[in-house]
Every structure is written in C-alpha cells, then in structure tokens.
C-alpha cells in the first residue's frame, strides 16, 4: 500500500499541485485503501494513471493544479490528454483503465467534495479488438474475487457481486444457473449446492469454504434474507438480477483490474475447469462438475499448457514414478 506521507508526497506534491489538490488526492487514496478495500495492485495502477494525468495537466495548463482547475476542465482538455497518449502509442486497454481511474476520482470528488465535472463522463472509452475467450490466470482470478467496483449504491450490492463471481469461478456455474438460485437453495445444504442445469439435469457441487464464506457474508445483508424463496441474486428493485447487470459489473471489474476484454462471466466457468485440470483433476470429474453431457464439450472448456500437462503426467502416471 502506498504511504500517504512518503510515496504520495514524492509522487504528487512534487508535481506543483496546490496543497488543496494534494489533500484531495490523499483523501481519495485513503478512501480506496480503507473503505473500498482495493488491492495494492489496483491502487498502484490507479495512482500511476493519476500521476501521468497530473503531469500532463501541469505542462498543459502551465500552473499548479487547484481545486478550481479540477472543476473547470473541459472535454477538450481530456481529449488533449488522450491525444498525447496516442502520440506515445499507449494502448487502448491502458487508456480504458486510465479513463476508469479518472471517472472514479471524479465520482469521489462529486460525492465527498461537491466538485461536479461531467466532462470526463462524456468521453467514450476506446474500442478494444475482440479476441477469442480465454480463461484467467489463477492470480488474476483470485484478485478478481477480492475486488469490487464502486459504482454500486449500496454495500450489499458489492457483496452480491463478489458472491456471484466467486460462485461462477469457485463452483463452475453458468451465469443462468447462479441467477436462478434462491436463498433456500444456498441454506438447505451449506457445504454443497444442487444445481439444475441444461435439460433439467441435476448435479451436486461441493463448495469451497471461501465460496461459502463470501456467499454467507452476502446473505447476511441480503434485503430479503428472511424470505427463503427470494432469488439469491437480486437487483436494486428486489427482482432477480438481470444478466446484463452481471455482465456490466464484470466489464467494470475487468477494466478496474486491467484485464482482457475477453473476460466475461462465462470466462470464470472456463477458468474453473482449466485451473482444476492444471491442478491434476481428471476430465471426467470436471465433466460432472460442469454438467456436460459430452466429454468433448469439457475438453473445449479447458486450456492448459504442455508444461502443465507434463507436470500432471509426472505426478500421476505410474510409468513416470520410476
């Protein structure tokens, strides 16, 4: 975690900021670390982007940046920064993360300091080249399970998103299967989950303790927790969560973490299968957990390197033990 009195002093105050602007930055840093509980990696990325932006502003405006400047920046000013990024051949994904950082900063300024500048929200995010879906790296998947986006209006929504995504990754559920769950489904068998999948096929999935913990934390603050037949995942109005909302939250989360635009809720199910296989699980068992009728379908769900396969072979095949 950045130390506000040391690294922040060096990073920002040395860049000719007005003291009042520096204080805003310190407060936002504390907000992200403590209230939002963002990972060190995410905070570091955000402040790298913010530092670059303020360096540009210092040269562009030619004056120490004051609160008033933050209020009065125009679309033209933000586009000038994007133009500079283009001259430096900064990629679309990095620019997308930078815009996410600035929007987050300005949402904080509006909510906590009445500095309302909508110009940044009228800048379109750069389009990213579409590529084939791929599973996450295990480190990225674990960080995603610990991170929430800040657009939610209520704390229970943050816990809802974490519970949903950890079920997709930790239990290999389809998004439609997770959204169809009720509170009763989760509470009737705390250590496992009975899923009714495609073709009304049922399968029993054991739940990892961390999955149970995250879902339990969410149920504790669920607005309808005393109504067993209520959907487990609900929207702001209390109805079953719309898949589009889950996809939007995933999109915001992957931007926040600087992940590939191919990462979707369904990617978490792919990652579940791939990471199990990489850890030595057999395809038949993974097939049962995913609810696939055909083993060939399961094979398509898994991506694993030759090195990983060789490692599994060495650990498990009798001829490799000699």
Token pair for 34: 């403590």
Chain region(s) in the chain for CATH 1.10.443.10: 138-306
Q: What is the pLDDT of residues 11-68, one digit of tens each?
A: 565 556 888 888 999 999 999 988 887 777 788 889 889 989 998 998 899 888 899 9
Give residues with Cβ within 8 angstroms of 165, minimum separation 6.
Answer: 144, 145, 250, 253, 265, 268
Q: Which residue, among 247, 222, 217, has the nearest Cα to 233 in the 3D structure?
A: 222
Residue 179 has pLDDT above 60, yes or no: yes
What pLDDT, on a 0 to 100 scale, did the predictor assign at position 5?
Answer: 45
Q: Which of 5-14, 104-113, 142-151, 236-245 has the lowest mean pLDDT?
A: 5-14
Average of per-residue pLDDT across 310-316: 60
pTM (two decimals):
0.57
What pLDDT, on a 0 to 100 scale, did the predictor assign at position 104?
Answer: 93
The active-site residue out of 198, 203, 218, 284 is: 198
Element (H, E) at 205: strand 202-206
Q: What percent of the chain is predicted at pLDDT more than 70?
A: 83
What pLDDT, on a 0 to 100 scale, did the predictor assign at position 111?
Answer: 94
What pLDDT band is residue 4 in, cutting at 50, 70 and 90? very low
Q: Judge whether 155 counts as a catalytic residue.
A: no
Average of per-residue pLDDT across 110-135: 81
Q: Judge whether 269 counts as a catalytic residue.
A: yes
Q: Give dist(CA 180, CA 174) in Å, integer.
A: 10
CATH level 3 topology of 138-306: hpI Integrase; Chain A (1.10.443)
Q: What is the pLDDT of residues 5-23, one digit of tens each?
A: 455 655 565 556 888 888 9
Q: Judge whether 59 counts as a catalytic residue.
A: no
The active-site residue out of 254, 269, 270, 275 is: 269
The active-site residue out of 44, 113, 174, 203 is: 174
Burial class of residue 229 in the structure, from the number of CB atoms within 10 Å of its CB (0-12 exposed, 13-18 middle, 19+ buried): exposed
Residue 197 has pLDDT above 90, yes or no: no
What pLDDT, on a 0 to 100 scale, did the predictor assign at position 117?
Answer: 94
Q: Judge whether 108 counts as a catalytic residue.
A: no
What pLDDT, on a 0 to 100 scale, did the predictor assign at position 1?
Answer: 45
Highest mean pLDDT among 88-102, 220-234, 261-275 belongs to: 220-234
The active-site residue out of 222, 254, 275, 292 is: 292
Q: What percent of the chain is predicted at pLDDT more than 90?
A: 38
Element (H, E) at 192: strand 192-196
Contact 275, 141 (CB under 8 A): yes
Q: Judge whether 203 counts as a catalytic residue.
A: no
Q: Which of 80-89, 139-148, 153-162, 245-254 has the lowest mean pLDDT?
A: 139-148
The active-site residue out of 103, 107, 203, 266 is: 266
């Amino acid at each position: 975690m950045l130390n506000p009195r040391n690294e922040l002093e060096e990073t920002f105050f040395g860049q000719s900021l007005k003291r009042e602007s520096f204080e805003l930055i310190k407060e936002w840093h504390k907000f992200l670390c403590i209230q939002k509980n963002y990972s060190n990696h995410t905070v570091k990325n955000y402040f790298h982007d913010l530092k670059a932006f303020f360096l540009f502003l210092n040269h562009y405006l030619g004056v120490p940046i004051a609160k008033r400047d933050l209020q009065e920046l125009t679309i033209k000013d933000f586009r000038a920064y994007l133009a500079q990024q283009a001259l430096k051949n900064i990629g679309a994904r990095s620019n997308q993360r930078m815009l996410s950082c600035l929007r987050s900063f300005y949402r904080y300024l509006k909510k906590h300091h009445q500095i309302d500048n909508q110009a940044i929200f009228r800048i379109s995010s750069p389009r990213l080249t579409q590529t084939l879906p791929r599973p996450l790296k295990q480190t990225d998947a674990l960080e995603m399970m610990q991170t929430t986006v800040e657009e939610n209006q209520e704390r229970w929504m943050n816990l809802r998103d974490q519970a949903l995504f950890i079920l997709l990754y930790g239990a290999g559920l389809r998004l439609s299967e997770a959204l169809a769950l009720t509170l009763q489904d989760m509470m009737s068998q705390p250590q496992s989950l009975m899923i009714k999948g495609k073709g009304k096929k049922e399968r029993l999935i054991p739940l990892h303790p961390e999955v149970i913990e995250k879902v339990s934390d969410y149920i504790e603050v669920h607005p309808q927790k005393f109504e067993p037949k209520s959907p487990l995942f609900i929207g702001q109005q209390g109805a079953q969560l719309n898949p589009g909302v889950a996809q939007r939250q995933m999109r915001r989360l992957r931007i926040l973490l600087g992940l590939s635009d191919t990462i979707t809720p369904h990617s978490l199910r792919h990652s579940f299968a791939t990471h199990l296989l990489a850890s030595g699980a057999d395809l038949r068992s993974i097939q049962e957990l995913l609810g696939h009728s055909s083993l060939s379908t399961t094979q398509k769900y898994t991506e694993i390197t030759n090195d990983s396969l060789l490692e599994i072979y060495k650990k498990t095949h009798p001829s490799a033990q000699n």
